[in-house]
A and B are shown apart, each in its own frame.
Chain A
C-alpha cells in the first residue's frame, strides 16, 4: 500500500511536470505565436487609438487661429494645476476691451491625462493628441506653451 502510494506520487509528479514542459515546448516550436511589436521599427505603422490620451494640444488652423477664449474652465477643471492661463486685455477694432489669452501654459510633467480639461472646455479649443514620445534630458522642456506665437482667436468663437 505504501509502495503503491509512493510510486503513484512519483508517476503523478512526473506527468504533471511533463504536461508543463509540453506547454513551453509547444511555444518553443511554434514561433508564429510570437506577436511582439518591434517598437522603434514599427513607428511608421504604429497608430494609437483615437481616444488615446498622450498630451493636451491646442489645434491651430491655417491662419494661425485657435479657439481658446481664455475662459479658464480647463484651469478650474484640472485636478492638479497642470494648466495655467495667462490673459491679457486686448483692444478690439470697435474700441471694446476684451480678455484674450497671452499664454496657455501646460505642464506636461504634471499632467495625468485625465481628460477633465477637454471635457470642461466649452469651445473645444483643446484636444488630446496621440503622441507619446516625450522623453527629454531636461525637465524644463516639459513646460509647454500651447498657443503658437502671434496666434489669434478664431472668428465667431465666444
Chain B
C-alpha cells in the first residue's frame, strides 16, 4: 500500500529486487530472473495497451462517424477487442503454398520485436525507465526503422503482387520520412544538450520544450507528428496497406495469428511514436511547470507523473487517430513530394534556427 501511495515505481522495483535477492543468491541467476520478469510484464503491459488502443480506435472512429461503435460485447463493448484477438489466435494460420515460408513466418515476428524494442529507453513515470541508455534518441530512431524490414520481408515473401507493391511503397516512404523524424529529434537534442531520454525529460523541469522553445520547436513538433505518422504507416500515409488500392498491401496474404501480430505492432508503434513525441516535446512524465513559479509547480507535482505521461501520450494518439478518420489518403508520389519539397527543407532550416536559438539562449 505504501508503495502505491508514493506513486513511485522505483520503490516498487527496489522492493521486488530485495524480495528476489532473498530467494535467489546467485547474482547471474538473479539478473536473468529479473529480466524475464521485466520482459513478461512488459509484453503483458503492451498487449493490454494494444487492447485498449484497439478499443479506443474503434470508439473514436465510431464517434467521429456519428455511430455508436462496439457496445454489445462486454460492458460498453470493451471486450470486443478481446474477442477479436481470441478469434484471430484460433483462426487457421495458413501460409500460401508459393510463399517463401521461412521469411513469411519471420516477418510478423520481426515487426513485433522491432516495435517492442523501442519501448526500452522511454520513461513512463518518474524513475521508471527500463534502461536509460545514454544515446536514447539515437537508439529510438535507429530501432524504430527496423519495422520496415518486416514489411519488406512480408511483402516480398508473400508472392503476391499487391504485397510487393505495398512493401516497395513502404520502403520508399520510411527511408524518406526517417530524415524529417531525425531532424526534428535533433532540434530537441540541440536544445537539451543530451541524447539520453531521461536527461531530456529532466531538462524540461522548468517548462516543456514546446513552450520554452516557442515557434521553432512547435514547427519541429508538427513535422515530427506528420513524419512519424508516415513512418508508422498510418492513414493518411498508409500507402503500404492502402486498402482501396492494394486490398491489404503487405499483409494481404496474412491470416490469423500472424495478422494479429501485425496489428499488435501497428498499435505498439502508435504508442511508441506518441510516447517519444510526448517525452521530447511535452516533457514526458514531467508535470506542467513554469519556471520561477514554485508554488504552482508544487501543486502540479501532486498529479502523479505516470498520469502526466499517459495523458500526454494519449492526447497525441488521439490526434493521430483523428488524422486517420478525417483525411483522404495521399498518392504515392505526393507522399514523397511532401517529404522532399516541404518537410525536409523546412526541418533543415528549422534545425539551424534551433541551433542559433540554443547558442544565443533565446529560449526561456
Contact = CB atoms under 8 A, between A and B. Distances in A.
Interface stretch (A31-39, A58-66, A123-131, A146-154): A31-39
B133 interface: no
Nearest to A34: B66
A25 B322 contact: yes
Interface string A1-37: 0000000001000000100110111011001011110
A34 B323 CA distance: 21
A36 B65 CA distance: 11
B345 to A, nearest CB: 9
Interface string B54-73: 00000010011111100000
A22 to B, nearest CB: 9
Contact of A38 (B66, B68, B322): B68
B68 A24 contact: no
Interface residues of B, number: 13
A21 B67 CA distance: 17
B66 A35 contact: yes
A33 B66 contact: yes
B322 A34 contact: no
B64 A24 contact: yes
Given A10-B342, A36-B68, A38-B68, A23 B326 contact: yes
Nearest to A10: B342
A27 B64 CA distance: 5
- From DSSP, what is the main secondary structure of chain B's interface residues? helix
Contacts of A28: 60, 63-64, 322
A20 B327 contact: yes
Give the bracket for the number of chain A residues in contact with chain B: 10 to 19
Contact of A27 (B66, B68, B323, B342): B66
Interface in B316-331: 322-323, 325-327
Contact of B63 (A21, A27, A35, A38): A27
A36 B67 contact: yes
B65 A27 contact: yes
Contacts of A23: 326
B327 A17 contact: yes
Contacts of A27: 63-66
B322 A21 contact: yes
Contacts of B327: 17, 20
Nearest to A9: B342
B176 to A, nearest CB: 18
A2 to B, nearest CB: 12
B41 to A, nearest CB: 33
Contacts of B67: 34, 36
Given A10-B342, A28-B60, A21 B326 contact: yes
Q: Which 7 A-B pairs have the closest CB atoms?
A: A24-B64, A24-B326, A36-B68, A28-B63, A20-B326, A28-B64, A33-B66
Given A27-B63, A28-B63, A36-B68, 20 more contacts: A10-B342, A17-B327, A20-B327, A24-B322, A24-B326, A25-B64, A25-B322, A27-B64, A27-B65, A27-B66, A28-B64, A28-B322, A31-B63, A33-B66, A34-B63, A34-B68, A35-B66, A36-B66, A36-B67, A38-B68
10 contacts: A10-B342, A20-B327, A25-B322, A27-B64, A28-B60, A28-B64, A28-B322, A31-B63, A34-B66, A36-B67
